[in-house]
């Protein structure tokens, strides 16, 4: 056999070995991922079958933001499950609170509450403490929230503070007030943030920053409360814009007015750079989001119920919303855990496109 034939034979053997190794790696990777999927499915099945639930004996649950939306639906769901619910309402004389009293029965108590006021929160604490059942206060659900959005150069400091006062400091104020009762019962704090608590969402800085702060507060509190036997749980709802009332009716009008105010207060240079189309595009997005979403809040209320009655609840409940095949925000939040930032920046631009600017500033 000549040298050329020998080299050909060696090269052929080398290529065959590479091909076999390649297929071997593919098969091993396939089996690895298949095993992960099988184990995950088994975990989900077994975790549901062997969940240890609280024996419900009318324990007290205090919920903020019950006038409408998620808080309203959760209050009724927990009453149905057997809890005694203290429903914090900003406007206890309005139809939302009236509907709660009519539907909730004797185990539902409406409590006047403004989470931005120390005096109001303290008054709510005294009402809950006085009317608390013998089984004690088992859970506090911080649900109250508002939404105002604008790009950072348009967002006013006043807007940022107003959103943070409700969405973040409201959680802090209520939690610090009620913790003594929860430490005594070894109960739990349930903080409703948002899927945006995992995402740096453009054109939504005030709301997103407050929700990120709520997530950080909850993580720190969970680690501090572990020694007292108090669980801290985060609920992260996805797209439920048509049902939460956070951008419905009067609140939608206020959000639009706030955007128009942001435009008026912006400098001529900023107006020239972005163009009025930017503000109009955000207003259109608000209106579209207020119409899109699932037909019910059942997914969120079931997550709330599990967070309250599960003896060992999850730290986080990411709840998919929307009436489309998938919740784009929740899918993006999951991808955000694993993909590099430069790729996520591109994905954000595709999933949540921003209005084009009027000019490129050099």
Catalytic machinery residues: 207
Give the end-to-end CA distance of the chain in Å, rounded to a whole number. Answer: 70
Helix H or strand E segment including 188: strand 188-192
Q: What are phi and psi of 15, to 5 degrees?
A: -65, -40
Contact between 258 and 235 under an 8 Å Cβ cutoff? The reply is no
Read off the tokens for 70.
């998620």
Chain CA centroid to CA 183, Å: 25
SS3 letters for 219-240?
Answer: HHHHHHHHHHCCEEEEEEECCC
Give per-residue burial for 57-66: e unless 16+ CB within 10 Å, then b. Answer: eebbbbbbbb
Cβ neighbours around 340 below 10 Å, total: 7
Q: What are phi and psi of 246, to 5 degrees?
A: -70, -25
């Amino acid at each position: 056999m000549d040298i050329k034939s020998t080299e050909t034979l060696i090269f052929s053997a080398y290529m065959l070995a590479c091909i076999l190794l390649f297929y071997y790696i593919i098969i091993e990777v396939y089996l690895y991922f298949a095993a992960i999927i099988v184990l995950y499915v088994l975990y989900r099945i077994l975790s549901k079958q062997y969940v240890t639930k609280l024996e419900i004996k009318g324990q007290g649950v205090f919920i903020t933001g019950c006038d409408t939306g998620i808080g309203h639906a959760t209050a009724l769901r927990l009453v149905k499950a057997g809890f005694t619910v203290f429903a914090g309402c900003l406007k206890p004389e309005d139809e939302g609170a009236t509907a709660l009293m009519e539907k909730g029965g004797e185990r539902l108590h409406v409590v006047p509450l403004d989470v931005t006021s120390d005096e109001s929160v303290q008054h709510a604490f005294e009402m809950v403490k006085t009317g608390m059942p013998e089984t004690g206060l088992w859970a506090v659900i911080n649900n109250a929230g508002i939404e105002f959005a604008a790009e950072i150069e348009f967002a006013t400091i006043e807007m940022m503070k107003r959103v943070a006062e409700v969405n973040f400091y409201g959680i802090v104020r209520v939690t610090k007030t009620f913790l003594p009762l929860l430490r005594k019962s070894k109960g739990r704090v349930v903080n409703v943030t948002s899927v945006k608590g995992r995402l740096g969402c453009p054109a939504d800085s005030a709301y997103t920053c407050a929700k990120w702060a709520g997530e950080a507060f909850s993580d720190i509190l969970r680690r501090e409360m572990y020694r007292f036997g108090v669980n801290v749980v985060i609920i992260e709802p996805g797209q439920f814009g048509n049902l939460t009332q956070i951008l419905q009716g009067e609140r939608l009008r206020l959000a639009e007015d706030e955007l128009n105010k942001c435009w008026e207060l912006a400098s001529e240079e900023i107006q020239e750079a972005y163009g009025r189309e930017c503000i109009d595009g955000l207003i259109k997005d608000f209106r579209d989001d207020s119409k899109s979403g699932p037909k019910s809040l059942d997914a969120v209320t079931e997550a709330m119920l599990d967070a309250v009655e599960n003896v060992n609840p999850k730290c986080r409940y990411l709840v998919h919303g929307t009436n489309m095949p998938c919740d784009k925000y929740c899918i993006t939040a999951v991808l955000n855990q694993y993909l590099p930032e430069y790729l996520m920046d591109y994905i954000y631009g595709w999933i949540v496109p921003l209005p084009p600017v009027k000019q490129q500033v050099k």
